[in-house]
């Protein structure tokens, strides 16, 4: 099962690497998906930012936390993930 989250931002449909943010809320922070046991198909997920039908960027890995029943994505604080670069963020079971 693949989880897709459409990005509600000013998506720029070019390959321009410039980030089109207004403030820090336009950057991806940590993601918590609650009640995950009801639909999870894996304990680790590869998280990607989809730029187009043929281009996606790996953003990191999310894991299932059984204690809180959540899928948790914690990004590296040194890396800025600009949401305006992506149409969708996907969580796919890790290979």
For 32, the 3-state DSSP assignment is strand
pLDDT score for 23: 74
pTM for the whole thing? 0.79
For tokens 């922070």, what's the residue?
Answer: 29
* Confidence band, pLDDT 50/70/90 cuts, at residue 8: low
* Residue 11, phi then psi, degrees to nearest 5: -65, 130
Q: Kindly report, residue by residue over 62-86, the tens digit of the pLDDT.
A: 999 999 999 999 988 778 888 888 8
Alpha-carbon distance 13 to 78, whole Å? 25
* Confidence band, pLDDT 50/70/90 cuts, at residue 12: low
Q: Kindly report, residue by residue over 13-50, the tens digit of the pLDDT.
A: 455 556 777 777 778 889 999 999 998 889 999 999 99
């Amino acid at each position: 099962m693949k989880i897709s989250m459409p990005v509600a931002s000013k998506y720029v449909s070019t390959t321009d690497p410039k980030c089109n943010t207004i403030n820090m809320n336009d950057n991806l922070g940590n993601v918590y998906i609650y009640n995950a046991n009801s639909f999870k198909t894996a304990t680790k997920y590869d998280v990607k930012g989809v730029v187009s039908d043929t281009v996606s960027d790996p953003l990191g890995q999310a894991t299932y936390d059984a204690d809180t029943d959540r899928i948790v994505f914690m990004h590296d604080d040194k890396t800025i993930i600009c949401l305006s670069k992506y149409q969708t963020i996907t969580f796919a079971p890790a290979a």
